[in-house]
């Protein structure tokens, strides 16, 4: 297969760009002396993850137990399920561990820790549990200096579970767009996670792992003293949100949606394509950033950005292509019916999730189909 033979819309990965992104992150973290554990929720694709591991990644991070089950079935053993553990999912976590999966789970409350401990004792299983630390008020976790941190640690240890470490995610890094700000947030993330680990150790509890990570902080951190591993996900494909944050050029975005022009509204300066929000997702993450890219940035079929053309609107199966600023009333001549375009996405994770498989474009122009995993 090649691009010209694909049905549209289709999610296309530029494999050469993807490999450069993988090497960039791996080399950076190698130079900082930390282990890299990629977050595979971005692609949920075995071929992509195999490329990350081949480059030097050790272990993976997942966001669902379904991902853990499927990647373990594919031969990957070292897995962190980086979402707070719901008690009703402990049976599935146990089944994975009994099959030989080195699965780590997460807690950020005494209630959760006690539920894990009670289930573990009942089943004769010493789960390895990491405590989630909140370093920026972005989402979940325990503040590094909160007494709750020690109480959660004690609840785990006293019930016979293994306290494996702490983990943090500086999600607020997505809200910044200068290098200095990202360096500051990266240091805040590092210092908070290390502080939490030090407090647990001072309370005579083991805390071997200090795990941090987001794509912006991983690419901006200047000092990772006290950190043992970094997690990041979207870096493997990048997207327009990350471009606005300032960590990638549009030429480094490895995911695009191939689409076909199917009509025009010339008086409005519109071309209509067969990729709507079902192909791009409804994610409008750039709307709150310094440049709003609508539903995506328009490229030629070859991958070059076509000036200021965006997917400015989307219905379920229709997308609207228009030029920012002055409408292009020659758009029907510029993009005749049948023209194939590629749209760079706002959020690679969300756009990938709209498709059952990626079409992997290799350097010789051929295309291979790479399936995605689905479900929870």
Structure confidence at residue 138 (pLDDT): 86
Q: What is the CATH number of the domain that holds 303?
A: 2.40.37.20
Question: Does some domain include residue 206?
Answer: yes
DSSP for 247-303 reads: S--GGG--EEEEEEEEEEEGGGTEEEES--HHHH-S--GGGGSSS--TT-EEEETTS
Percent share of the chain, pLDDT over 70: 100
**227 and 264 together in one domain:** no
- 206 and 319 in a common domain: no
Measured from the Cβ of residue 24, the count of other Cβ atoms closer than 10 Å reads: 17
> Rounded mean pLDDT of 34-58?
98
Q: What is the CATH number of the domain that holds 187?
A: 3.20.20.10
**Mean pLDDT value of segment 353-358:** 98
Is the per-residue pLDDT at 27 higher than 90?
A: yes
Note whether residue 56 is domain-resident.
yes
- Does residue 299 sit in the same domain as residue 194? no
**Structure tokens that stand for 181 in this block:** 């700000």
Check if the beta carbon of residue 74 is closer than 8 Å to that of residue 62. Answer: no
- Indicate if 324 and 194 belong to the same structural domain: no
The DSSP 8-state label assigned to residue 136 in this structure reads: S
- Contact in structure between 43 and 255 (CB atoms under 8 Å): no
241 in a domain, yes or no?
A: no
Separation of alpha carbons 327 and 332, rounded Å: 12
| 149 assigned to some structural domain | yes
How many independent structural domains does the chain possess? 2
Structure tokens at 145: 């200096």
251-254 own/partner pairs: CB under 8 Å, 24+ apart: 251/17, 251/305, 252/17, 252/20, 252/21, 253/17, 253/344, 253/345, 253/348, 254/13, 254/14, 254/15, 254/17, 254/18, 254/21
Whether 244 is covered by a domain: the verdict is no
How far apart CA 255 and CA 14 sit, in angstroms, is: 6
Q: Across all residues in the chain, what is the average pLDDT?
A: 97
Q: Are residues 210 and 268 in the same domain?
A: no
Q: Are 348 and 354 in contact (CB under 8 A)?
A: no
DSSP state of 2: B
Rounded mean pLDDT of 311-338?
97
Q: Are residues 80 and 203 in the same domain?
A: yes
The predicted-structure confidence for 151-209, as pLDDT tens digits, reads as follows 999 999 999 999 999 999 999 999 999 999 999 999 999 999 999 999 999 999 999 99
Confidence bin at 351 (pLDDT 50/70/90): very high
d(CA 162, CA 170): 25
Residue 59 predicted with pLDDT over 90: yes
Query: What mean pLDDT is predicted for residues 3-24?
Result: 98
Residue 258 shares a structural domain with residue 229: no
Q: Is residue 13 one of the residues assigned to a domain?
A: no
pTM of the model: 0.96
Q: Is 87 helix (H, G, I), strand (E, B) or coil?
A: helix
**Residue 300: per-residue pLDDT:** 98
pLDDT band at 30 (very low <50, low <70, confident <90, very high): very high
Q: Both 297 and 327 in a single domain?
A: yes
Q: State yes or no: pLDDT of 368 exceeds 90.
A: yes
> Quick one: which H or E segment has residue 211?
strand 209-212
Residue 122 CB burial class (10 angstroms; 0-12, 13-18, ≥19): exposed
Q: Are residues 259 and 217 in the same domain?
A: no
Residue 214 φ/ψ, nearest 5 degrees: -155, 160
**What is the per-residue DSSP string for 143-193?**
-TT-HHHHHHHHHHHHTT-EEEEEEE--GGGGG--SHHHHHHHHHHHHHHH
151 lies in the same domain as 231? yes
In tens, the pLDDT along 104-155 reads 999 999 999 999 999 999 999 999 999 999 999 988 999 999 999 999 999 9
pLDDT at 139: 87
Q: Is residue 23 included in any domain, yes or no?
A: no
Quick check: is 209 in a domain? yes
Structure token pair of residue 335:
């993009």
Phi, psi of 373 (to 5 degrees): -85, 150
Asked whether the predicted pLDDT for residue 254 surpasses 90, the reply is yes
Q: Is residue 274 located within the same domain as residue 366?
A: yes
Core vs surface per residue 68-101: b (16+ CB within 10 A) or e: bbbbbeeebeebbbbbebeeeebeebbebbeeeb
Asked if residue 272 and residue 184 are part of one domain, the reply reads no
Domain enclosing residue 162, as ranges:
32-236
Strand, helix or coil at 309?
A: strand
């Amino acid at each position: 297969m090649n691009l010209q033979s694909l049905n549209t819309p289709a999610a296309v990965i530029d494999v050469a760009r993807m490999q450069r992104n993988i090497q960039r992150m791996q080399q950076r973290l190698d130079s900082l002396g930390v282990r890299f554990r990629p977050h595979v929720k971005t692609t949920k694709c075995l071929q992509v993850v195999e490329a990350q591991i081949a480059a030097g990644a050790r272990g993976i991070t997942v966001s669902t137990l379904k991902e853990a089950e499927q990647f373990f079935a594919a031969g990957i053993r070292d897995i962190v399920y980086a979402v707070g553990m719901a008690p009703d999912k402990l049976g599935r976590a146990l089944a994975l561990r009994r099959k030989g999966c080195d699965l780590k789970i997460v807690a950020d409350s005494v209630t959760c820790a006690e539920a894990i401990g009670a289930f573990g004792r009942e089943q004769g299983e010493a789960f390895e549990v990491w405590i989630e630390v909140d370093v920026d008020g972005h989402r979940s976790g325990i503040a590094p200096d909160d007494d709750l941190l020690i109480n959660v640690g004690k609840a785990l240890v006293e019930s016979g579970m293994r306290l494996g470490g702490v983990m943090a995610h500086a999600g607020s890094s997505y809200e910044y767009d200068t290098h200095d700000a990202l360096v500051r947030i990266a240091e805040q993330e590092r210092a908070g996670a290390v502080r939490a680990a030090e407090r647990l150790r001072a309370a005579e509890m083991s805390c071997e792992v200090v795990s941090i990570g987001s794509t912006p902080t991983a690419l901006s951190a200047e000092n990772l003293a006290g950190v043992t591993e970094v997690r990041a996900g979207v870096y493997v494909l990048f997207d327009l949100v990350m471009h606005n944050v300032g960590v990638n050029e549009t030429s480094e975005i490895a995911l695009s949606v191939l689409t076909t022009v199917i009509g025009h509204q010339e008086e409005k300066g519109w071309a209509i394509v067969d990729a709507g929000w079902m192909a791009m997702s409804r994610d409008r993450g750039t709307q709150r950033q310094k440049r709003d890219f609508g539903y995506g940035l328009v490229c030629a079929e070859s991958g070059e950005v076509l000036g200021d053309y965006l997917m400015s609107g989307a219905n379920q199966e229709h997308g609207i292509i228009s030029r920012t600023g002055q409408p292009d009333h020659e758009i029907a001549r510029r993009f005749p019916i049948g023209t194939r375009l590629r749209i760079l996405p706002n959020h690679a994770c969300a756009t990938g999730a709209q498709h059952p498989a990626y079409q992997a474009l290799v350097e010789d122009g051929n295309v291979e189909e790479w399936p995605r995993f689905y479900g929870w």
